[in-house]
């Protein structure tokens, strides 16, 4: 059946995207993330509580990391359940990694190392974060092709600046933490 002549066919934003990860990959990822979440909770529990200085439970420095660890573990559990329902336990032939996966992993790793190892501490934190988000967004949007590339770069600049500003304001004004 064809669409009527007056309807315009719109491209899906998911055209050309890779297939979602296999249930097995989701299951392995869930196991690793669950272990990471539990390790974060254990380390957060080991942090001092400052009870001897009349601190309350809400002022303990392990509260936020413990919460993050709990959320990582919870979401990893949900990912694991979804993977099991999708057949993550079944044995299948090994799948070749998709072209570009290694390059994308290397790009993300290099950008992360440059951010944490070079930018943070040498430039204001808001600028380091803005540059990181801009570079990350641009690097992974660049492969989408030249059409509307200028718009995506402008969007990356705005997202980077917004993220740098928001992170700085949240940590310095809400959490009262000085950033490097």
Q: Which domain holds residue 112?
A: 99-180
Asked if residue 1 belongs to a domain, the reply is: no
φ, ψ dihedrals at 120, nearest 5°: -65, 125
- pTM value is 0.54
Same-domain check for residues 23 and 83: yes
Of the three residues 76, 95, 114, the one that is the final residue of a domain is 95
Asked if 159 contacts 133 with a C-beta cutoff of 8 angstroms, the reply is yes
Asked if 79 contacts 29 with a C-beta cutoff of 8 angstroms, the reply is yes
Q: What is the pLDDT of residues 21-58, one digit of tens each?
A: 788 888 999 999 999 999 999 999 888 776 666 666 66
φ, ψ dihedrals at 123, nearest 5°: -125, 160
Is pLDDT of 20 > 80?
no
What pLDDT, on a 0 to 100 scale, did the predictor assign at position 96? 63
Same-domain check for residues 72 and 112: no
Beta bridge partner(s), residue 123: 120
Provide the domain count of the chain. Answer: 2
What pLDDT, on a 0 to 100 scale, did the predictor assign at position 69? 94
Same-domain check for residues 103 and 180: yes
Is pLDDT of 179 > 60?
yes
Asked if residue 10 belongs to a domain, the reply is: no
Asked if residue 138 belongs to a domain, the reply is: yes
Instruction: Count Cβ atoms within 10 A of the Cβ of residue 40 and give its class: 0-12 exposed, 13-18 middle, 19 or more buried.
Output: buried
């Amino acid at each position: 059946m064809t669409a009527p002549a007056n309807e315009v066919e719109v491209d899906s934003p998911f055209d050309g995207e890779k297939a979602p990860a296999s249930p097995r990959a989701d299951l392995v990822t869930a196991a690793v993330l669950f272990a990471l979440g539990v390790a974060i909770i254990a380390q957060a529990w080991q942090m001092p509580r400052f009870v001897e200085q009349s601190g309350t439970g809400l002022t303990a420095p392990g509260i936020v990391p413990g919460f993050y660890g709990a959320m990582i573990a919870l979401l990893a559990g949900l990912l694991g359940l979804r993977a099991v329902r999708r057949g993550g336990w079944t044995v299948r032939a090994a799948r070749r990694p998709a072209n570009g996966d290694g390059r994308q992993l290397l790009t993300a790793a290099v950008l992360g190392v440059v951010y944490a190892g070079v930018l943070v501490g040498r430039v204001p934190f808001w600028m380091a974060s803005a540059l990181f988000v801009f570079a990350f967004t641009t690097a992974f949007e660049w492969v989408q092709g030249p059409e509307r590339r200028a718009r995506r770069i402008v969007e990356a600049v705005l997202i980077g600046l917004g993220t740098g500003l928001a992170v700085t304001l949240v940590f310095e004004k809400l959490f009262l933490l000085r950033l490097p």
